[in-house]
Amino acid sequence: MASNKTNNALILFAHKIDTPKGFVQLLKVDKEAKPPVYASNAIVNKSLQQQFGHLPQEALKAFASFSDDNMDKAVSEIKQRYNLQKSPLPFQQFQQQQLLKYYYDRLLDAKPFIPLVKWYHTRELLDKKRWLTAPCSISPYRPQLSFEVESRDDGYYLTTWININGTPFALDSFTRKYFLLESGNEYFILYFGDYQTLEWLRQQQPEQYAYNPADLIQYILLELEGKYPVKRNSLQTENTINTEPVGRVVLSELSGSFLMLTPQWSYDGYIMEGAWQPVTELSEKGQLVTINRNETQEKQLLDLLEALHPKFPDQKNGYYYLSFAEAQKKQWFLKAYHKLLTSGIDLLGMDMLKHFRYSTHKAVTTMEQLEATEQFIRIKFVLQFGTETVPLNELQKILLAGQRAVLLKDGSLGVLGDDWHKQYATFVKHGKVNKQELTIASWLAIPLQDGDNLSLQPAINYSNWWKRWQAWLAGETVYTAPAAIQANLRSYQQKGYEWMRLLSDAGAGGCLADDMGLGKTLQTICFIASVIEANPSQQHIIVCPASLVYNWEQEFKKFLPGINLSVHHGAQRNDAVLQDKNVQVYITSYGTLRSDIEKLKALQFGVMIIDESHNIKNPSAQITRAVGEIWSTYCFALSGTPVVNNTFDLYAQLNTVLPGMFGNREFFKKEYADPIDRFGDEEKMQYLQKIIAPFVLRRTKEQVATDLPEKTETVLWCEMSNSQRDMYESIKEQIRGNIFTDIQQKGVGQAKLAVIQGILKLRQVCNSPLLLPEEDRTASESIKMQVLFEELDNLLAKHKVLVFSQFTSMLNLIAGQAQKKQLKYYHFDGQTPAEKRMEMVNAFQQEDNDTNLFLISLKAGNAGITLTAADYVFLFDPWWNEAVQQQAIDRTHRIGQTKSVFAYKMICKDSIEEKIIQLQSKKKKLSADLISTDDGFIQNLSEEDIAYLFA
């Protein structure tokens, strides 16, 4: 026992939690000294007995686990595990992770006895030079995480709340050391999984999505929901429209005697008419659409219409009307027509007016090219009916409104037929108007050249360019591969390289959208080599996801050795290298580009390559704007899936590589995206496909890589045990009741969040009941784990195997089982640094490497890496985006593969997984015509589909 002059205590050194020793020590406090004197020593059993012999043996045993002897044993076991699995992580990093888990488990063991002793801790003072020793406590309350989205003037931000005994505190009100939270000398122990979530969140940097709520939901909130309470506030799952309305007037005939003008307002393609109301709610494809209407701007259109005729102010039926005689008196209709057009009002229904006569004159169009550069063509464009010239700005508005007739001065309608539309409408709709001059992107000449009608070809300032283009289309070789390339190009790779050369010679860019595994990287390096060959002093830049930075570096060293290459990425990057004129190619990540945009946009590049370009599909996203600020002579995008959600995904990508080609985003959305995505307009889809065809090169494996070995895809059915099935059915019944209560109270659109969470929970049960919180479990065994390891037992001796899962926690369970079975494996997920991923990939690919199992997160590893050493792939859990699953399989089924590839989707029979793959098949669209893949599975679920999923 301690004397009255001293206190015996334990001291917590939180800053040593990631080191092998010294986290918890014995402490003697001399209370009579002024100030008190503290003497700490490592825990040894004898000293522990002397100071705390009065404690129960269980308590002494728990505290002794922090002794040097026990820590030495723990470190020895960690080293043994490290050597056993040949972890690609540096030992120091591997040891840190294992020590954290060791300390966490030991603290939980000791937690019942913590109140029996006095505790002290050390805390760094604000000057960062001194440490303070003071009493502390370790709370018995376990913190609970919750999250809230806060809407600020500068975007949406995620707040993390720590809930302690029912009271929420902001995370930044604590000092956090891994899983320890400290505030006011009181410590709280996070659940280890919660600590991992906070680490993941720190790495994901949700603030990058402040201006991109869709990506904030997709990449952050959906990962958190289902595990934690998430309060979205104003960031709801429904689509809220806050855009300014575009006024339009629909012309029609009433009772065969009156001309009727109906005012309407288009809110981002949603048409409103009738009396104003603050909010209009619609349901579209099961999603709630909330339109916040603008009273001031709607009234401006009404005021404009009522000023056109003295009878209109008294007409309050939501439309205005005049007899045909009054409408034509003193050319009233002609004046009103021009007044509305010059006021920016769309006019619809002109070509449906039967009372008006049609002009006997045919449309006569003349085009005179005034100026041509590599970027634009300026044309004098004149449309006449007889001697009357139609104002070009009015013609453009009529065409953009979808009309095929113009009102002439004599009151007749000039008809614009199909032949005229085919020949001229695209020029007018895509151009910028200045009086009778039209300026269009010069690249529009390529898709619109038709046979001998090559009036716009001089815009391409190369006398024989068109001949080379035609020769390339005919399959002839038009460029030889650069001499510096250390590879024999396959025929289709040669064609892809030539395509990039041709477009760059025309001053254009494009999107190389080949299937995964066909060598987009090699084709791109060949193109860059040709540019370097012509101008060795020019600098170029590759922008790619962080996970692919070192993959690009390796590919350059392999195929184009000798060039001066610099990786500008990571915390240790050297900004001075950006001023090095000897560097020929920079490789950087999207995150680094966003952080260093002020430095990078000051440079001038010859070629910019945007890899996995679907990362810039959102025109409003910060990263898209940052990429757009980089100056380059040529720009090419690479993506196996350029269209992920809808047609609008194309806009930002193609507008980056072909500036001005598609006008502004509102034009593209109105002219193409909305008609195709919302109304299934096949004609618009075919026309857009024609326009983009020269600039998007897509080849599938079936088309070009006929020498690839066979790929076999099979469903591996798993029958749940009775206990797992009982747990599944019980949770399903509970979820189904909650969901349909939500649907009845809020509607399908508002209930989508509950649907997502319900699907997530049932998928977790299918994978393993251990993924759910302990209080939700009534079973522990997983049929999928059993089936997987039965397969691995048969395969790993002679084959290399990839296992993909969307749940990092599931991969951790598989890794733990592999350790128990003493199976060597590699494992990475979204938290693994990019360079470590490449170390693992390279090691796995080596012929003499005997680690035959690779566990990979689906998101982290479904693109950009080559794992042709493997010939078996297991998709542990299915997902609704088939393209993502195919990309995962194609990590191994790609150029360089010499063995047949076998891919297995692991599906629990009679479960939500089986229903997901059945709905996938049911809901496939024809969007492949537009190089699209469908990821809108949940957004397109109807109430009937939801009932089917949870039946």
Alpha carbon distance 696, 509 (integer Å): 9
User: Which pTM was predicted?
Assistant: 0.54
Q: What is the mean pLDDT of the chain?
A: 82
Which amino acid type is present at position 551?
N
Residue 410 to residue 394: CA distance in whole angstroms:
17
Cα-only R_g, the chain: 34
| Interacting residues of 391 by C-beta distance below 8 A, sequence separation 6+ | none
Please report the pLDDT score of residue 1 as a whole number: 46
Q: Which is nearest to 649 in space by CA: 688, 700, 687?
A: 688
Taking residues 590-597, report their average pLDDT: 89
Asked, as a colleague might, if the bond just before 35 is cis with ω within 30 of 0, I would say yes
Q: Is residue 805 helix, strand or coil?
A: strand
What 3 state SS string does 547-588 have? HHHHHHHHHHHHHCCCCCEEEECCCCCCHHHHHCCCCCEEEE
Task: Map tokens 């979205």 to a residue.
Answer: 232
| Residue type at position 542 | I
Q: Is the pLDDT of residue 81 over 80?
A: no
Which has more confidence, 749 or 350?
A: 350
User: Which residue did the predictor score with more confidence, 291 or 900?
Assistant: 291
Q: What DSSP string runs through 741-789?
A: HHHHHH-TTTTHHHHHHHHHHHHHHHH-GGGS-GGG-S----HHHHHHH
**310: confidence class by pLDDT, cuts 50, 70, 90:** very high
What number is the average pLDDT over the span 208-223?
A: 76
Specify whether the CB–CB gap between 553 and 567 falls below 8 A.
Answer: yes
Q: What per-residue string of b and e applies to 906-932 under the rule 16 or more CB within 10 Å gives b?
A: bbbeebbbbbbbebbeeeeeebeebbb
CA gap 222, 230 in Å, rounded: 9
Residue 453 has a pLDDT of 41
H-type helices in 238-374, by residue range? 295-306, 324-328, 332-342
Provide the pairing of β-strand 239-241 with 287-292: parallel
CA distance 538 to 105: 57
Q: Distance between CA 830 and CA 203 in Å, rounded?
A: 9
| pLDDT exceeds 60 at position 798 | yes
Helices assigned H by DSSP within 222-276: 222-224
The mean per-residue pLDDT over the stretch 42-66 comes to 91
CA distance 113 to 869: 52
Pick from 544, 617, 628, 625: which is nearest to 585 by CA?
544
Confidence of residue 479 (pLDDT cuts 50, 70, 90): very high
* Positions of E strands within 165-269: 167-170, 175-177, 180-183, 186-189, 230-231, 239-241, 246-254, 258-267
Inter-CA distances, 447 with 441, 532, 687, 691, Å: 12, 29, 10, 5
Exposure string of 499-511, with b = 16+ CB inside 10 Å and e = fewer, is bbbbbbbbbbbbb
Inform me whether the pLDDT recorded for 456 exceeds 70: no
Q: Which pLDDT score, from 0 to 100, does residue 809 have?
A: 87
Q: What is the C-alpha separation between 123 and 11, in angstroms, rounded?
A: 11
**Interatomic CA distance for residues 931 and 514, integer angstroms:** 10
**Distance of alpha carbon 926 from alpha carbon 454, whole angstroms:** 32
- Do 865 and 854 touch, CB atoms closer than 8 A? no
pLDDT of residue 451: 40
At 476, is the secondary structure helix, strand, or coil? coil
Higher pLDDT, 837 or 895: 837
Which of 119-128, 150-159, 256-265, 454-463 is predicted with the least confidence, judged by mean pLDDT? 454-463
User: Is the pLDDT reported for residue 17 higher than 80?
Assistant: yes
Please give the pLDDT value at position 922: 56
Quick one: average pLDDT of 771-776?
82
What was the pLDDT predicted at 846?
Answer: 87
Other beta carbons less than 10 A from residue 304's beta carbon:
17
Beta bridge partners of 638: 512, 611
- pLDDT tier for residue 82 given thresholds of 50, 70 and 90: low
Chain centroid, CA 382 distance in Å = 45
Q: Which of 851, 842, 836, 863 is nearest to 800 (CA)?
A: 851
Q: Contact at 8 Å (CB) between 143 and 181? A: yes
Tokens of 271: 């048409």
Lowest mean pLDDT among 35-44, 462-471, 793-802: 462-471
- Tokens describing residue 100: 């954290």
**Helical H segments across 510-661, by residue range:** 520-534, 549-559, 590-595, 597-600, 622-628, 649-657
| Strand (E) or helix (H) holding 11 | strand 6-12
pLDDT at 392: 92
Distance CA 505, CA 349 (A): 44
Helix (H) or strand (E) segment spanning residue 396: helix 392-400
Cα separation, 855 vs 840, in Å, equals: 11
- pLDDT grade for 897, boundaries at 50, 70 and 90: low
How much is the average pLDDT of 349-371? 82
Does residue 510 sit in helix, strand or coil? strand
Give residue 615's pLDDT. 83
- Residue 830 CA to residue 806 CA, distance in Å, equals 10
How many other C-beta atoms can be found within 10 angstroms of the C-beta atom of residue 299? Answer: 11
- For residue 868, give the DSSP letter: T
pLDDT for 926 equals 32
DSSP H or E run through 634: strand 631-638
**How high is the pLDDT of residue 171?**
93
pLDDT tens string 609-636:
999 888 888 777 788 889 999 999 999 9
d(CA 430, CA 448): 12
The arithmetic mean of pLDDT across residues 64-93, rounded, is 75
Contact status, residue 128 vs residue 177, Cβ threshold 8 Å: no
- Please answer whether residues 359 and 386 qualify as being in contact, where contact means their C-beta atoms are separated by less than 8 angstroms: yes
Is the pLDDT score of 442 beyond 80? no
- Mean pLDDT score, 649-654: 84
The dihedral of CA 301, 307, 313, 318: what is its sign?
A: negative
Q: Residue 160 has what pLDDT?
A: 94
pLDDT 10s digits, 390-423? 999 889 888 887 778 888 888 788 888 888 888 8
Any idea of the CA torsion for 473, 477, 480, 486, to the nearest 10 degrees? 90
End-to-end CA distance of the chain: 66
Instruction: Give dist(CA 421, CA 278) in Å, integer.
Output: 39
Distance, in Å, from the CA atom of 519 to the CA atom of 494, rounded to the nearest integer, reads: 11
Q: How far apart are CA 86 and CA 88, in angstroms?
A: 6
